[in-house]
Each structure stands twice: as structure tokens, then as C-alpha cells.
């Protein structure tokens, strides 16, 4: 019973953390629920076993929640990272830094660079994303700058050298995970 409850609490904390940084309120509420249900001892065990942290050192519940949230986040892969790793594994590639490598022979296939999309240019009815350092587009008569919410452009460099082909995956309606998947398909 005890081991099962410890694992259940850990799994719920992991589930919350996988949602990302901004799910801290849900985390705080869950910690409150655990304490209100007299399960503090189980929470101690979760942090001792899975996070190598002694939560008895925190003087208040507020401090416990605030100071353990970054620990939990640091030790939890987001759903995005989990799905990306699963995709990489099924396609025989892995990533170190920006480099994408073939798992079978460790050959560098290319690089992925995430760029913030801060502006778009509309030219002849087609909207193009502009990375921050592409000032050329802003200085032409053709461009009409539109205010759009920020999105990420994935720059895919095909090959191991800086002068190799670079492709920008910049569809603002495409999920970042889908951009990574498309990038991998361009590399393999």
C-alpha cells in the first residue's frame, strides 16, 4: 500500500510538471491536497526517493512548494521532450545540443536551431515569418509588417558544415513537435 501510494504521488507530480513551468498553481494545490489528506510522510518519501531532497528542511509549506517546484521541473521531461525522444528513437536519430546524429554510426546529419518569430511579411498574399536578425525584409518596399504572436521557427541545417543547405520551418500554425518531425524527415 505504501509503495503504491508513493508511486501514485510521484506520477501525479510528474504529470503536473510535464505541463510546464506555468502549471505551478496546480502543483501547489496538489501539495495542499496531500497535506490536507495527512499524507505528508508519503510526500517526504517521494522527494527523498525520486528527487534526493529532504523536504523537512523547509520551515513552511509555502517555502516547500516554492522551492521544490524548480527541483521537480528540472527532473521531469516535458510532454514535448518525451514525445520528441520517442520520435527520435523510432527514427534512429539523437540530438546533442543543436546537432542531430544517426544512431547507427554517430554521423552528424545536420543541426536544428530554434529562432523566435517576431514579425511576418506579407508579399503578394503569402505571409512569411522573419527571424529577428533578418533585417533585409524590413527594408524593402515589398514588406508589410504584421503584429503576430510569437512563434518558433525551426532552422534545419542539412549537413555538417555551416555553408550547407538551411531550411526554415516557419508555419505559425504548425506545432513545434511537428516542425522537429519534418526536420528529421529532411535529414534522413
Cα radius of gyration (the chain): 22
Round to whole Å and give the CA distance between 32 and 65: 9
- pTM metric for this prediction: 0.55
CA distances from 55 to 5, 43, 47, 66, 72 (A): 18, 8, 7, 12, 12
Round to whole Å and give the CA distance between 143 and 123: 6
Domain residue ranges of the chain, discontinuous segments joined by +: 2-74, 79-187
Q: What is the pLDDT along the chain (188 residues), one digit of tens a residue?
A: 899 999 999 999 999 998 888 889 999 999 999 999 999 999 999 999 999 999 999 999 999 999 999 999 888 877 777 888 899 999 999 999 889 999 999 999 999 888 765 555 555 555 555 554 444 444 443 333 333 334 677 888 888 777 778 888 877 778 888 888 999 998 88
Q: Pick from 115, 85, 110, 81: which is nearest to 98 by CA?
A: 110
Phi, psi (5° rounding) for residue 100?
-110, 125
Amino acid at each position: 500500500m505504501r509503495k503504491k501510494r508513493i508511486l501514485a504521488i510521484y506520477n501525479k507530480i510528474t504529470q503536473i510538471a510535464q505541463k510546464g513551468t506555468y502549471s505551478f498553481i496546480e502543483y501547489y494545490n496538489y501539495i495542499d491536497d496531500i497535506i490536507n489528506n495527512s499524507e505528508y510522510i508519503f510526500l517526504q518519501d517521494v522527494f527523498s526517493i525520486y528527487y534526493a531532497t529532504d523536504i523537512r528542511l523547509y520551515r513552511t509549506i509555502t517555502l516547500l512548494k516554492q522551492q521544490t517546484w524548480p527541483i521537480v521541473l528540472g527532473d521531469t521531461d516535458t510532454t514535448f521532450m518525451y514525445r520528441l525522444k520517442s520520435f527520435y528513437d523510432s527514427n534512429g536519430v539523437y540530438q546533442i545540443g543543436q546537432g542531430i546524429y544517426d544512431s547507427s554510426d554517430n554521423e552528424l546529419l545536420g543541426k536544428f536551431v530554434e529562432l523566435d518569430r517576431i514579425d511576418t511579411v506579407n508579399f503578394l498574399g503569402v505571409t512569411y515569418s522573419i527571424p529577428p536578425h533578418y533585417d533585409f525584409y524590413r527594408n524593402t518596399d515589398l514588406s508589410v509588417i504584421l503584429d503576430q504572436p510569437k512563434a518558433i521557427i525551426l532552422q534545419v541545417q542539412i549537413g555538417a558544415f555551416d555553408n550547407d543547405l538551411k531550411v526554415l520551418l516557419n508555419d505559425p500554425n504548425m506545432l513545434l513537435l511537428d516542425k522537429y518531425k519534418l526536420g528529421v524527415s529532411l535529414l534522413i
